[in-house]
Amino acid sequence: MQHSRRATAALQALTEADPALAALSLWCRHRDSETVELVATAGPEIKYGPGFDDQPRHIQIGLAGHHILHVALQHSDRMRAMQTRLGEVFEPEIWQIACDAIVNEAILASGHALPRPVLTLQILLGETGAALLAAWDAERLYFKLASGNVGRGDRLKAKAREAGFRPDLDVGDDTEAMGANPDKGDWQGHMARAMAAGRAAGLGLGALGLRLADVPRAIIPWEHHLRRWISRLVLRAPAPAPLNPARRWLAMAGQAQVEQRPLPPWQAQLNVPLPRPNILLAIDASGSIPRQTLGRFMAEAAGLARRLGTSITMVVFDTEIRSHTRLDPAQWHQTLAALSLPEGGGTDFRPVFEMARHNKPTGVIVLTDLDGPFPPCAPRLPVLWACMAVDQPTPPFGRVISLAR
């Protein structure tokens, strides 16, 4: 396909109006298309529809910059990755709302224009301030927007459409085009060089002096951290049984007797410890973990319990233990549906660890916002804190993972 005729003038104007976006545009494929109304992005390809010709030049520059940032931030590829990660619960429209709000905020802050009305982070979050772009990436914003009660998603979509949102991302079905898209490491280099060019020129995106939190980078999902932590916790090394001979020793001893040689050195049998691992899963009842995230966490924990033969005791607490039950890996959906999480109370971690001291589990997982008094002494067992904050506080003991991405 030929380079876009419709976008040529706008892209040429970008070289003077915004050197950073102009540099990033060189790594995009610009194509004319009759199948889109205005502009759309699929992987590294930007498609310009007939409606693009009808826009004034300054709007064309803003629209081109909007979609160049979609490509540079790899929103189509990250959308596909999130769809694979979350499966049926993934909501592509909410993902696109999050991406559009971030990109539009950056384009307007760079001094470019977009068709009105326009969805921004300030409108979406009801917050103001120059630090929004440095605080939010697409994954974290998606989980914030997707969490909550059932009707919240419909209200969010209606609010976004009133602010001018229209879906313009596609995961893409052109495998050749997808394969030509640079990976996250390449785009980090492209973004760094483009922003340096913009800062040197003092124009556009590079002149903002802001850190874009949405720049592609390697992020290990919290599910991987959870699986690794539990696997290391429950997979124990075999221990020698001093009174039982190893099969290898029996074979060598039999052969030695046949050949009338001295017996070989003693080798003890290795036995896997018999006690079944038990994990205490404590859920903060103050409501700091959204129900959707809690469901994904319980699904991960139940799957690991089923595969590794681990017993999980689930505790709901605030300032005291409210309930505790054994989590059945095959019935976690019903357990989650019947789970009562009282809200509005405080948080105290001491009853949880007092219970752990008596029950002696293999390890403790606490889903919380880390806002509450801790026990005076660290327990003698592994502890994993899971919370929604990206920049979470540091507890006096244990390991922390963020569920915000």
* Residue 177: per-residue pLDDT: 42
What residues have CB less than 8 Å from 250, skipping those under 6 apart?
A: none
How big is the chain by its Cα radius of gyration, in Å?
Answer: 28
Residue 163: how many CB atoms within 10 A of its CB?
18
The predicted-structure confidence for 264-293, as pLDDT tens digits, reads as follows: 988 888 776 655 678 888 888 776 666 666
Strand partners, 245: 268
d(CA 115, CA 118): 7
d(CA 106, CA 135): 13
* Residue 176: per-residue pLDDT: 43
User: DSSP assignment of 331-396, as one string?
Assistant: SHHHHHHH-----S----SHHHHHHHHHH--SEEEEES-S-SPPPSS--SS-EEEEES-SSPPPPS
Backbone angles phi, psi at 47, to 5 degrees: -110, 125
The segment(s) of the chain belonging to CATH 3.40.50.410 are 278-402
Asked if 204 and 19 touch (Cβ cutoff 8 Å), the reply is yes
d(CA 326, CA 304): 15
CA distances from 271 to 42, 239, 274, 309 (A): 55, 5, 8, 17
Tokens representing 214? Answer: 């949405």
Amino acid at residue number 299: A
Q: What is the pTM of this model?
A: 0.69
Class of domain 278-402: alpha beta
Asked if 283 and 137 touch (Cβ cutoff 8 Å), the reply is no
* Residue 183: per-residue pLDDT: 59
Q: Is the dihedral of CA 136, 11, 108, 40 positive or negative?
A: negative
Based on DSSP, count helices (H) and strands (E) in the chain, helices before strands.
Answer: 16, 12
d(CA 124, CA 152): 13
Q: Is the dihedral of CA 219, 221, 222, 225 positive or negative?
A: negative
Length of the chain: 405
Q: What is the pLDDT along the chain (405 residues), one digit of tens a residue?
A: 578 899 999 999 998 899 999 999 999 999 999 989 899 998 889 999 999 999 999 999 999 999 999 999 999 888 988 888 777 778 899 999 999 999 999 999 899 999 999 999 999 888 877 688 888 888 888 888 887 655 677 888 888 899 889 888 886 554 444 444 555 567 778 888 888 888 888 888 887 766 788 877 667 777 788 788 877 877 766 777 777 888 888 889 888 888 889 989 888 887 766 556 788 888 887 766 666 667 777 777 777 677 766 778 888 888 888 888 887 777 767 776 777 766 666 788 999 999 998 888 888 988 887 888 899 888 888 999 888 766 667 889 998 888 776
Question: H helices of 43-183, where?
Answer: 57-72, 75-86, 92-109, 121-125, 132-135, 138-146, 150-162, 175-179
